[in-house]
Amino acid sequence: MAELSVIGQRVPRVDAREKVTGQAKYAADYSLPDMLWCKLLRSPHPHARILNIDTSQAEKLPGVKGIVTGKDFGGWSWGWMPATRDETPLAVDKVRYMAEAVAGLAAVDEDTAEEATGLIKVDYEELPGVFDPEEAMKDGAPQVHDYVKNNISVEYHWNFGDTEKAFAESHLVREDRFRTARATHGYLEPPAILAYYDPTGYITVWASKQSPYFHYRHLAACFKLPLSRVRVVQPFIGGGFGGTKNDSLAGDFCAVLLSKMTGRPVKYIESMEEELATSRRRHSVIVYSKMGVDKDGLLKAIQHRVVADGGGYTAIGPLSMYLNGFITTLPYRLPHFKFDAYRVFTNNPIGAAMRGHGVTHTRFAAEIQMEMLAEELGIDPVEMRMRNAIDNPKPGEIYETINKVTLETCGLKQAIKEAVEDPLWRDRDKMPKKEGAISWGVGLSGTSYSGGARQMGHQACAAIIRLCEDGTVNLITGATDCGQGSDTVLCMIAAEEMGIKLDDVSIKRVDTAYTPVDPGSYGSRVTILAGQATQKAARQVKKQLLEVAAKNWQVKPEDVEIRLGEVSLKSDPSKKMPFIKLARIACYSGTGAVIMGTGYSSYGIEHLDLTSGTGNGACSYSFTAHTARVGVDMETGKIITTGFTLASDCGRLLSPIQAEGQIEGGAIQGLGQALYEDFIMDKGKTLNPTFLDYKMPHALDVPNMKLIDIVTDDPFGPFGAKEASEGSIVSAPPAVISAIHDATGIWFKELPVTPEKVVKALKEKK
Amino acid sequence: MKEINLTVNSQPYRLSVPPHRTLLEVIREDLGLTGTKEGCGLGECGACTVLMDGQAVNSCLVLAAEADGKEITTVEGLADGDKLHPIQQAFVDHGGLQCGFCTPGMILSAKALLDKNPHPTEEEIKQGIAGNLCRCTGYAKIIESIKAAADNMGGK
């Protein structure tokens, strides 16, 4: 790799100053004169027919300016795929989960709006509900939607190789049932929108959307306007992690429609309780895993039957289920694989996407089951993984899985090797195993995640770079930084490619009226795909500037070099000029040039095949090995985590501070899902819709973290980059569960492992 | 309505507020200082943390009437012109933020801690920010930032 000036430097985020001074504006921080406040009325039943909605009393309350119900949206519905557009902005005939919105209203202030929602009278006919996906699949179960049978929202049946034969030939086969938690994103910024429907037929919204172009399409379709008349202006986003902020919500549609009706701007801010009770959270998934190995522990076959709680609507479910299966063939060599997936409608809140989308469930099951097999065979867990792990392909070679996932770099073996050389694992036998009531244990995981995700339909990210006459540049992209640091990374890529200083690159937030269309921030795709687009745009600008410099110096463009804001002649570095001078020459010579570069990404542009599960769902794959040390109080069941070693092959780290923050954040979010986080549901009702009761990790729960970089230069990423953080959230739970097993001798198969579960299991063990 | 006098970031204000109005609402809506964030509205996340007479408080749980006569510091009141407060600078330099939504509250909790305890241990730092949730960073770089700020401030 050529010597890099900006990439790889430990630079602060480009938006850090705005954020530490409180100047960064989030959706709820925007206001307009004459603005109304929107509130929603939500269903108190998980499954009920709507017989009548009487808004007359609410209309009479002074200050109420408009009320909308489901019928006002004219039957429009949306969803991720054309065949599954089963959700309407507000429930029309029936509510399918508790707290589904049934009406929205706008009033002069928040208190009046709140009071008015209490005056809307809805007559419901309660229907029998179904809350367990396996119950919902049975004949005779209450039907959540009429358009499918047995509540099957999505199903896939993939079969690669001959699993039956492979199990018959296996030395040892295990079958276990695993279950993942009802976990949610837990960002601190509740969804919010400020909407204005200009009476001449333009929509402008300031909304907390991590993928604003989804929202732009939804609004154009719902309000039957050309896309060119829908403007989503992007504020700073207070965390995303997929799901909710990648979709449009009842409050969004209501705010826009109420603005259209009243001619005034309308603001809607969801309360955190509403958010936690209705978020488009990670699916809770039951994984029936069957795994066969030979006498040396080499994997022969995996068969997964997964049943996911889809909740009331499909949303992004078809992709979630695909992701449950498509990289079960990574990161270990797997000759035979069978996958039967069922996403099932229930009367619970909607299951959707969250960081580590899909893979967190099946990889957790496979990791734990592989360790169980290793234990039965008497094979060391490190050895078990090293025997099965995919080797790093030699440069130019490609590894292909049985379902035709291909990769050119794989740092898993190196990650495991370095993780277990770290004292946390290496010296585990020198550390105390028992101290009072605390039993200590250490665990390991080795996992993979995809980066640069492919999507149905439009996939390309784009960038525009404009040269200013003072030598600075504007970087314009439709890609969103929702906190992950991509704006910084994209600016670094532009600076590196153009040979200028990072400070001379300026980036602004997405505005669909001006920025190029972009698929969105999901599937760890921004650095890879918007990064490639930025590279291409920067190269175009640089090419034009090199031509100007060459003409000026009477040399060839390839003889000129631009580096850190200095333009020089390669053969005679004493001949040089500052970049600003070259910019001025370019912009002012003759009639004056207007120098711009554009580019869009081309990595991974293939068709995504959901029904067969064959082919690449992404550009490249990260590999992660974690070790964790935990202490289990054998009396109270409380678990503390004191150490995490996180070895990650994220390709090359372009912005190390940002990548480290992602890896650490992903691991701690994963720790939460291993030990604490779960929505407690009672017949569709969320019993813990508050942060206090949902229990995300706080600072005192966090172990010391040590990071190890495994650098591979992937050809399908700018400067060799792959994804960071989704691998981390996938890898953390199995490492923690393996550590708990080391401490207690018990394999926990259901997340999260709460003190209650530990105490119960310890009693059963006795 | 109740007449209150309060000082926010050294500026005196006289306001007439309904009895149920919170300090957070006054700061964000009446004074237009939107740097202070509302996360949960229940005192569980710490995003709305401000200093009231030097104490870190969840401004969503403080009634405006209770702030009568008090001195309030919000995130907008920390920098000295263009010069960031050393805690802000440390968060910038050490990557102590990602989405930034918890950041104003986190920085004010850090300030309350360092004002009382200029040389905290790691455990004391964790205790000092235990009331502030952050979902992005996993806290490691926040703790590192506060340590660096303590070192840079040299107990001042």
pLDDT in tens, B127-146: 999 999 999 999 999 999 99
Average pLDDT over residues B11-28: 97
User: Which A residues 22-51 touch B at CB under 8 Å?
Assistant: 22-26, 28-29
User: Which is it for the CA torsion A74, A76, A77, A82, positive or negative?
Assistant: positive
Question: Could you tell me where in chain B the CATH 3.10.20.30 domains are found?
Answer: 2-77
- Interstrand relation of A639-649 and A704-709 (parallel, antiparallel or unpaired): parallel
| A411 CB neighbour count, 10 Å cutoff | 27
pLDDT in tens, A476-532: 999 999 999 999 999 999 999 999 999 999 999 999 999 999 999 999 999 999 999
Residues 6+ apart with CB under 8 A from A70: A50, A88, A89, A90, A91, A92, A93, A102, A103
- DSSP 3-state assignment of A347? coil
Residues 6+ apart with CB under 8 A from A404: A614, A615, A616
State whether B100 and A17 contact (CB < 8 Å).
no
Per CB-CB distance under 8 Å, the chain A contacts of B104 are: 20, 22
pLDDT for the residue numbered A2: 65
Q: Please, what are the domains in chain A?
A: 16-23+460-600 (3.30.365.10), 31-127+187-278 (3.90.1170.50), 281-454+608-765 (3.30.365.10)
State whether A189 and B37 contact (CB < 8 Å).
yes
User: Which A residues 699-718 touch B at CB under 8 Å?
Assistant: 699-700, 702, 705
Structure tokens at B135: 């979902």
State whether A19 and B97 contact (CB < 8 Å).
yes
Q: Which of A351, A426, A417 is nearest to A154 (CA)?
A: A351
Report yes or no: B92 and A21 within 8 Å, Cβ to Cβ. no
Q: Read out DSSP for A113-180? A: HHHHHTT-EEEEEE------HHHHTSTTPPPS-SSSSTTEEEEEEEEES-HHHHHHH-SEEEEEEEE-
- Return the H-helix or E-strand segment holding A343: strand A336-345
Question: Could you tell me where in chain B the CATH 1.10.150.120 domains are found?
Answer: 86-153
pLDDT for the residue numbered A323: 97
pLDDT under 50: residue ranges of chain A:
none
HSE, CB side, 13 Å, CA atoms: give it for residue A603. 30
User: Which A residues 124-183 touch B at CB under 8 Å?
Assistant: none
Determine the residue among B135, B137, B143, B145 to mutate to test chain A binding: the one whose Cβ has the most chain A Cβ atoms within 10 Å.
B135
Q: Which amino acid is at A27?
A: A
B86-153 CATH fold: DNA polymerase; domain 1 (1.10.150)
User: Which A residues 234-263 touch B at CB under 8 Å?
Assistant: 236-241
pLDDT for the residue numbered A317: 97
State whether B34 and A29 contact (CB < 8 Å).
yes
User: Is CATH 3.10.20.30 correct for B2-77?
Assistant: yes
- Return the H-helix or E-strand segment holding A406: strand A406-407
Residues 6+ apart with CB under 8 A from A660: A653, A707, B95, B141
pLDDT for the residue numbered A36: 98
Structure tokens at A607: 């068709």
Residues across chain A: 766
- DSSP 3-state assignment of A76? coil
Per CB-CB distance under 8 Å, the chain A contacts of B147 are: none
User: CA of B34: which chain A residue's CA is closest?
Assistant: A29
pLDDT for the residue numbered B154: 86
Asked if A271 is an interface residue toward chain B (Cβ–Cβ < 8 A), one would say: yes
pLDDT in tens, A51-105: 999 999 999 999 999 999 999 999 999 999 999 999 999 999 999 999 999 999 9
Q: Which of B42, B91, B142 sits opposite A690 (nearest CB)?
A: B42
A-B CB pairs within 8 A amount to 174
pLDDT in tens, B88-118: 999 999 999 999 999 999 999 999 999 999 9
State whether A17 and B97 contact (CB < 8 Å).
no
- DSSP 3-state assignment of B140? helix
Per CB-CB distance under 8 Å, the chain A contacts of B140 are: 664, 702, 705
pLDDT for the residue numbered B81: 94
Q: Which pTM was predicted?
A: 0.97
Report yes or no: A140 and A81 within 8 Å, Cβ to Cβ. no
User: Which B residues 86-115 touch A at CB under 8 Å?
Assistant: 88-89, 91-95, 97-104, 107
User: CA of A480: which chain B residue's CA is closest?
Assistant: B99
State whether A188 and B75 contact (CB < 8 Å).
no
Report yes or no: A514 and A453 within 8 Å, Cβ to Cβ. no
Asked if the interface predicted TM-score (ipTM) of this complex is over 0.90, the answer is yes
pLDDT at B155 > cutoff 70 = no
Q: Per-residue b/e over B6-41, b at no fewer than 16 CB within 10 Å?
A: bbbbeeeeebebeeebbbbbbbbeebebbbbbbbbb
- A394 DSSP 8-state letter: P
pLDDT for the residue numbered B156: 60
- DSSP 3-state assignment of A670? helix
Q: Which of A409, A488, A443, A446 is nearest to A8 (CA)?
A: A488
Report yes or no: A732 and A671 within 8 Å, Cβ to Cβ. yes
Per CB-CB distance under 8 Å, the chain B contacts of A667 are: 138
Q: Which of A15, A189, A691 sits opposite B101 (nearest CB)?
A: A189
Q: Which of A245, A404, A364 is nearest to A316 (CA)?
A: A245
